[in-house]
């Protein structure tokens, strides 16, 4: 993409931001995406090294701004803004990586030039003193071979580190995207995914197909996040006896846990609790409120962290 196209993309986003300023509809995620875009837009390395990713970020932010201008739902705006933030961060990371590669290549060229000059000096000395020069040439060759081997090892290590970083970033992006899809909520204890009552058979612990599908999505991304732990918590409404509610909450939590294990998540990473009718999220006077209370919550720890108790 040439500089004119990049400028046009930036102007389009700026116009979208200006249009949105006349409406009150926005979210913290959208505000953060706009601020992040302004930061990369002022960074010449992004337009130089990541023009395609910059264009994708501009388009994604424009879509989020349009949704805000149309006063779409906050959930839709947040979703589009989140995607825009991911593309902005991708553009930033690609530019940073390619800039670092350029610097590494320049250093390697300088290193090669120094070595060439050193070999030239050694050759001139060899003409004056054949025996001494011959020994120096052998030493220089050994040093050059060692330096070349070290450079190759360094290059391979850098490539491996870059790939590992890219894989980790991609795994985190996939994990975060699934959390958005499953309407996960950030809490002080970690991210919480709720399996609603409608995803279970009535008054049973068996997951319905839609419930299994949601758990499967979570299991796939948890396989890419091995340093996160999981706590499955079951809850009921206040209808029925305490014993029945406690047992049902435990059986439903166990059903979700067993489904995760069956899909490849290590059982040692998963804890389970049943709370019966404790910790309601709504009243128990209406059917709709009671349905909200009948749920299973899957709490996901931060990477390498633990989940605090209730």
Per-residue pLDDT tens over the stretch 19-48? 444 544 899 999 999 999 999 999 999 989
- State pTM to two decimals: 0.50
Distance CA 166, CA 162 (A): 6
Residue with tokens 């739902």: 73
Per-residue pLDDT tens over the stretch 76-87? 999 999 999 999
- Between 183 and 145, name the one with better pLDDT: 183
CB–CB of 228/300 below 8 Å? Answer: yes
Tell me whether strands 230-235 and 270-274 are parallel, antiparallel or unpaired: parallel
Distance CA 117, CA 111 (A): 10
In CATH terms, the fold of domain 182-300 is 60s Ribosomal Protein L30; Chain: A; (3.30.1330)
Whether 174 has a pLDDT exceeding 50, the answer reads yes
Spell out where the chain has E strands.
185-187, 190-196, 230-235, 270-274, 295-300
Interval 173-179 mean pLDDT: 88
Q: Where in the chain is the domain with CATH 3.30.1330.60?
A: 182-300
Distance CA 305, CA 298 (A): 15
């Amino acid at each position: 993409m040439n500089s004119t196209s990049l400028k046009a993309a930036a102007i389009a986003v700026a116009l979208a931001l200006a249009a949105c300023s006349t409406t009150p509809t926005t979210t913290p995620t959208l505000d953060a995406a706009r601020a992040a875009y302004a930061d990369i837009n002022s960074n010449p390395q992004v337009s130089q090294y990541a023009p395609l990713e910059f264009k994708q970020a501009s388009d994604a932010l424009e879509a989020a701004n349009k949704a805000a201008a149309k006063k779409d739902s906050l959930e839709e705006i947040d979703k589009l803004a989140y995607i825009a933030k991911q593309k902005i961060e991708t553009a930033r990371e690609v530019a940073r990586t390619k800039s670092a590669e350029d610097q590494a290549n320049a250093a390697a060229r300088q290193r090669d030039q120094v070595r060439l000059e050193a070999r030239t000096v050694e050759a001139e000395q060899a003409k004056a003193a054949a025996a001494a020069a011959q020994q120096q040439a052998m030493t220089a060759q050994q040093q050059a071979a060692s330096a070349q081997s070290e450079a190759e090892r360094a290059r391979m290590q850098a490539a491996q580190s870059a790939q590992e970083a890219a894989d980790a970033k991609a795994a985190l992006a996939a994990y975060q995207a699934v959390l958005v899809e499953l309407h996960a909520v950030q809490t002080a204890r970690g991210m919480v995914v709720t399996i609603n009552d409608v995803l279970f058979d009535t008054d049973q612990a068996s997951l319905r197909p839609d419930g299994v599908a949601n758990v499967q999505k979570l299991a796939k991304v948890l396989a890419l996040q091995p340093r996160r732990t999981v706590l499955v918590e079951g809850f009921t409404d206040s209808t029925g006896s305490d014993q029945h509610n406690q047992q049902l909450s435990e059986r439903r939590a166990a059903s979700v846990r067993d489904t995760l294990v069956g899909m490849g998540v290590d059982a040692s990473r998963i804890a389970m609790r049943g709370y019966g009718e404790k910790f309601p999220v709504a009243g128990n006077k209406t059917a709709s409120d009671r349905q909200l209370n009948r749920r299973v919550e899957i709490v996901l720890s931060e990477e390498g962290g633990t989940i605090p108790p209730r």
